[in-house]
Amino acid sequence: MARCSLCGKEDLCFTCPYCNGVFCAEHRLPESHGCAGIQMVQAQARKKAAQAVAPPPSPPQQRRFFVVRPQAVRPVAVRRGTGRFSQTELKHLLISSVLVVLVAISMIGGPPMGIVRGAQLIILYAVQGYGWYPAILILGFLISFLIHEFAHKFTAQHYGLWSEFRMMAQGYYLSLIAILFSVPIFGTGAVFSAGSPTPEQDGKINLAGPASNAAIAIFCTIGAVVSAALGGGLSPVADFAFSYLIQLNAFLGLFNMIPFQPLDGATVINWDKRIWLAMVIVLLALLIVGYVGISLLAA
């Protein structure tokens, strides 16, 4: 009498032909003792059956080669990461630019209701040969606004973000207040970005606007110094143009560096307080130059 390999019962045991184990009458069938050998045999049998019914391999097909002639290849225009403008953005920029021009005209006339008096003065200046005065005021205001917004947009696009200018609902109200009371407000809209910038990238995107105003002011300062040195002084037109652009851009940069949302300074100071302080100092120095330094050069 032998003992079952599974339960240990003495019986007239049977030897499994698949795993060679010894089992009693109760466990002699392969499925009763969980035979591992039969699973291997079944796998081999399935493989042989599949090979028996498989279709014969098809002969290798001859490869065909196509010759691309040089004249058939057309150059593909590559769309770069920066400088993209949608139709909606261009429309918003046009509306905002018109409002900025109206604010500039209102500043020429002064409060109250400067827009009416400003339009009258523009005509008067043009008739008397002083059309350069309102032209500098209006174009300087508009160009400074556009460069500030484009600096935000292009910096964000440089980091691979979607970025476009949009008018804001409160922008219309702020523009109305600026037009009625002759206040230099740029609050018509803002550049909106979508993506996942790092804190450093976000800080640089917000810094780009005030930094562009500082760059304009520095460029005008250098231009004033060179013009004064070469010409023995500044003409009244150059003195006014340089002084106005320096004062305007220094003021706009300082205003946007105020460390409170939604102004640029809030994001910049959270990113790097030293860079925020350095930019504020530079803009303050430029503002002083605009009010004092150019007049000294003209003298």
Report the amino acid identity of residue 292: V
Q: Is 149 a catalytic residue?
A: yes
**Which residues, at least 6 apart from 91, have a Cβ–Cβ distance to it below 8 Å?**
none
What local confidence, expressed as pLDDT, does residue 261 receive? 82
% pLDDT > 90, the chain: 32
Residue position matching structure tokens 């500039």? 104
| pLDDT single digits (tens) 15-59 | 877 766 777 777 777 767 666 566 566 666 666 766 666 555 555
| pLDDT single digits (tens) 69-114 | 343 433 333 344 556 788 899 999 999 999 989 988 988 888 777 7
User: Worst-scoring range by mean pLDDT, 110-114, 198-202, 210-214?
Assistant: 110-114
Average pLDDT over residues 139-148: 92
| pLDDT single digits (tens) 152-162 | 999 999 998 88
Provide the pLDDT confidence category of residue 225 given band limits of 50, 70 and 90.
confident
What letter does residue 289 receive in the DSSP assignment? I
The answer to whether 177 and 245 have CB atoms below 8 angstroms apart is no
Average pLDDT along the chain: 80
What local confidence, expressed as pLDDT, does residue 149 receive? 92
**Active-site choice (10, 31, 89, 149):** 149
What's the CA gap between 295 and 299, in Å, rounded?
Answer: 6
What letter does residue 293 receive in the DSSP assignment? I
Question: Is residue 122 classed exposed, middle or buried when 0-12, 13-18 and 19+ CB atoms within 10 A define those classes?
Answer: buried
User: What is the value of pTM for the model shown?
Assistant: 0.67
**Does 66 have pLDDT greater than 70?**
no
Question: Is residue 36 classed exposed, middle or buried when 0-12, 13-18 and 19+ CB atoms within 10 A define those classes?
Answer: exposed
Question: Is residue 139 classed exposed, middle or buried when 0-12, 13-18 and 19+ CB atoms within 10 A define those classes?
Answer: middle
